[in-house]
Amino acid sequence: MRVKAVLAALVLALTPATANAAANPYERGPAPTAASVEAARGTFAVTQVTVPVQTGFGGGTIYTPTSDLTFGAIAVSPGFLAPQSAIAHFGPRLASYGFVVITIDTLSGWDDPDSRGRQLLAALDYVVAHNTHVDASRLAVMGHSMGGGGTLRAAATRPALQAAVPLAPWSVTKNWSAIKVPTMVLGGQNDAVAPEAQHALPFYDSMTAAPEKAFLELRGGNHSAPASDNATVRKYTLSWLKRFVDDDLRYDQFLCPPPAPNTAISDYKDTCPHA
């Protein structure tokens, strides 16, 4: 009986699932499905803590998965004149899939993209210092409009970041060749505030040093669409962050091969296959 038990243990140890877990200790949560990546919540329960105004950013809310594990962390910024509530839905949703998330208020609604980039990095530094569940080697930034421009600035400033997701980004800077972070840009086809021809598309094209990049255009989308809580935004933001913050290859299936134009997506550009 003891020999059988040992053999059974050896067989279990050699199964692909166990081998994959050993190869990637950062995987969090069950294997994704087409339904799960579009769902409103993942499998982790989530706690939240309010952060008062800090020297480096305007305070915010930290969402943490209820677990003894460590997680990658994501800082999310709103856009021009927008409060934290405009992007707050990303906090509990992404945390429920296995990230520590801080959604921030900026020091002023008038803060420009470069200031928002500094505030995103300050928020990440705050989370690393104050949340014991954060793996400081796995950090990402995300933001809408001028917060998207701040996301690009943060990625250009700190190449050690694992991922960046600018949403309808706005910036007077058009050349982002300094970015060396995997970056997914989301835009709206009918964005009149940050028209893609002057913002999202030249930003994407200029990121020649990014190891991986993607551009997703929401069909008929206005300036607010990339920051909305809908199935397409849920699917692609989550998949990008999982793939590059957690190095979770299980999510690659939702990014490569790229989606063909459909009722939700009017254009998609990418660097598939991912290395």
Which is it for the CA torsion 171, 175, 179, 185, positive or negative?
Answer: positive
In 3D, which of 126, 120, 144, 124 has the Cα closest to residue 72? 124
223 among known catalytic residues: yes
**13 CB contacts (<8 Å, ≥6 apart)?**
none
Q: How many residues does the chain have?
A: 275
Max Cα separation, the chain? Answer: 72
Catalytic: which of 77, 96, 145, 171? 145
Catalytic: which of 191, 246, 248, 270? 191
191 among known catalytic residues: yes
CA atoms of 271 and 156, how far apart (whole Å): 19
267 among known catalytic residues: no
What one-character-per-residue DSSP string does 59-77 give?
-EEEEEESSSS-EEEEEEE
CA atoms of 182 and 137, how far apart (whole Å): 15
**241 CB contacts (<8 Å, ≥6 apart)?**
72, 74, 94, 99, 140, 142, 163, 165
Long-range contacts for 39-44 (Cβ within 8 Å, ≥24 apart)?
39/234, 40/93, 40/229, 40/234, 41/92, 41/93, 41/96, 42/93, 42/96, 42/97, 42/98, 43/96, 43/97, 44/95, 44/96, 44/97, 44/98
Q: What number of CA atoms fall less than 13 Å from residue 185's CA on the CB side?
A: 34
- Positions marked active-site: 145, 191, 223
